[in-house]
Amino acid sequence: MREQENRGSRGHQQDRLRVAGGQEYEINYLARKHSVPRFMVEEAISAVGNNRKLIEEYITDRQSRRR
């Protein structure tokens, strides 16, 4: 029983590290979280892949350059 719990939670944890670029709710969530338009989130996914941390760093970097 313990083994199944660990296996399930590990998958969930790994899933949160990625952004499903084809899912509108994921893109909308990141756009709202960072107060940027959807196209900027889509641009970030195209530029750095689907790693959530890299996407957020890309968006933050782009925002600081625009100011």
**Ranges of each domain in the chain:** 2-66
Higher pLDDT, 21 or 7: 21
Residues 27 and 38: beta-carbon distance below 8 Å: yes
Q: What is the pLDDT of residue 13?
A: 64
* Alpha-carbon distances of 21 from 4, 5, 67, rounded to whole Å: 29, 28, 27
Q: What is the pTM of this model?
A: 0.74
Query: What is the mean pLDDT of the segment spanning 12-37?
Result: 86
Cα–Cα distance for residue pair 56/53, rounded to 1 Å? 5
User: Which amino acid appears at position 43 of this protein?
Assistant: E
Query: Has residue 20 got a pLDDT over 90?
Result: no
Q: What is the pLDDT of residue 35?
A: 95
